């Protein structure tokens, strides 16, 4: 989220941009798209789209589904994603800290940062049974409906918050999601006073969570930790208790605030 897009002399290569936009069409909700859909979505002729698609396919960024004539994201995205984790230098510090909190609480703990006004998931630690299982690394969610997101927003400038609202809106994911800007501002004020953010089934029904921001030396949020559990275990009482544990972990991670993507991208 570059607030003021300083008009540098950027020579954007159009065809590359279109190729990227094609990849961006593919979303977990609709992981399979055909040529016509892509062409319509980007508002470019089918023949142009086909050239780009075939280029992306030849390099493994798209995979043509055998049976039909649809495409899906290819293995190359996963490979580059893996390589890019090398740059997530916060992880070696965060993981042991997260695992300790996870074990003490028994709940799922998430580490996130914010990118382009959205929550970006960096790491999670699950209860003992499913050890590594599914990763969340790379998942993106809106900020207004998650514990991590609200925790971060509460320590970012009002103009930043407003920008997030302007760009992404306040979409209702569940009946509990905050969709009114004024209410969100109030919620952020309450969050600051309480010392941690709560997510009361605002992103997933049946799931509550607590989140605390990780802040840099200027006090700006660069990341967040959250604990997530069912409405049964995540009572108000437990929330308070968990928030204390989280708070300590956040303080430790604050010492490495400069390693968070949000810092590296001049977003704060």
Site of interaction with DNA (CB under 7 A): 8-9, 11-15, 18, 34-36, 39, 44-48, 50-52, 69-70
35 binds, among DNA, a copy of itself, none (CB under 5 to 8 A by kind): DNA
∠ CA(260), CA(242), CA(250), 5° rounding?
20
Is 119 strand, coil or helix? strand
Tell whether residue 23 is a contact of a copy of itself (CB under 8 A).
yes
34 binds, among a copy of itself, DNA, none (CB under 5 to 8 A by kind): DNA
Cβ proximity to DNA: between 69 and 86 the closer is 69
Residue 52 Cβ vs DNA, minimum distance, rounded to whole Å: 6
User: CA 256, CA 245: separation in Å to the nearest integer?
Assistant: 18
Residues 6+ apart with CB under 8 A from 223: 90, 111, 112, 113, 114, 122, 152, 213, 214, 253, 257, 260, 262
Alpha carbon distances (Å) from 204 to 152, 172, 199, 268: 19, 11, 9, 28
Residue 2 Cβ vs DNA, minimum distance, rounded to whole Å: 16
Backbone angles phi, psi at 130, to 5 degrees: -75, 110
174 binds, among a copy of itself, DNA, none (CB under 5 to 8 A by kind): none
Residue 29 Cβ vs DNA, minimum distance, rounded to whole Å: 18
Of 163, 184, 161, the residue nearest 172 (C-alpha)? 184
44 binds, among a copy of itself, DNA, none (CB under 5 to 8 A by kind): DNA
User: CA 242, CA 226: separation in Å to the nearest integer?
Assistant: 9
Is 58 strand, coil or helix? helix
Cβ proximity to a copy of itself: between 91 and 179 the closer is 91
Tell whether residue 232 is a contact of a copy of itself (CB under 8 A).
no
Residue 258 Cβ vs a copy of itself, minimum distance, rounded to whole Å: 9
235 binds, among a copy of itself, DNA, none (CB under 5 to 8 A by kind): none
Residues 6+ apart with CB under 8 A from 57: 63, 64, 71, 74
Q: Within 41-100, which residues bind a copy of itself (CB under 8 A)? A: 50-52, 54-56, 58-61, 63, 65-66, 72-75, 77-88, 91, 95, 99
| Beta strand residue intervals within the chain, DSSP E | 33-34, 62-64, 70-73, 108-115, 118-125, 140-142, 197-200, 207-215, 221-230
Q: How many residues form the binding site for a copy of itself (CB under 8 A)?
A: 70
- Residue ranges that bind a copy of itself, judged by CB under 8 A: 10-13, 15-17, 19-20, 23, 26-28, 31, 50-52, 54-56, 58-61, 63, 65-66, 72-75, 77-88, 91, 95, 99, 102, 115-116, 120, 123-126, 128, 130-140, 261, 264-266
């Amino acid at each position: 989220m570059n607030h003021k897009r300083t008009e540098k002399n950027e020579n954007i290569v159009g065809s590359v941009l279109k190729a990227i936009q094609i990849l961006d069409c593919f979303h977990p909700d609709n992981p399979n798209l055909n040529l016509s859909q892509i062409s319509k979505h980007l508002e470019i002729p089918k023949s142009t789209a086909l050239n780009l698609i075939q280029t992306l396919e030849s390099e493994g960024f798209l995979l043509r589904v055998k049976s039909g004539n649809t495409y899906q994201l290819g293995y190359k995205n996963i490979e580059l994603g893996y390589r890019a984790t090398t740059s997530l230098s916060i992880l070696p510090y965060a993981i042991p800290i997260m695992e300790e909190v996870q074990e003490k609480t028994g709940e799922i703990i998430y580490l996130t940062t914010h990118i382009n006004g959205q929550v970006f998931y960096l790491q999670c630690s699950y209860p003992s049974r499913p050890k590594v299982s599914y990763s969340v690394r790379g998942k993106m969610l809106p900020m207004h409906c998650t514990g991590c997101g609200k925790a971060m927003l509460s320590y970012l400038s009002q103009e930043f918050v407003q920008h997030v609202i302007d760009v992404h809106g306040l979409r209702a994911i569940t009946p509990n999601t905050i969709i009114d800007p004024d209410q969100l501002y109030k919620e952020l004020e309450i969050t600051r006073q309480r010392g941690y953010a709560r997510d009361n089934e605002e992103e997933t029904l049946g799931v509550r969570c607590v989140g605390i921001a990780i802040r840099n030396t200027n006090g700006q949020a660069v990341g967040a930790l959250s604990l997530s559990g069912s409405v049964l275990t995540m009572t108000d009482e437990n929330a308070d208790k968990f928030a204390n544990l989280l708070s300590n972990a956040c303080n430790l991670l604050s010492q490495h605030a400069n390693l968070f993507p949000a810092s590296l991208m001049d977003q704060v």
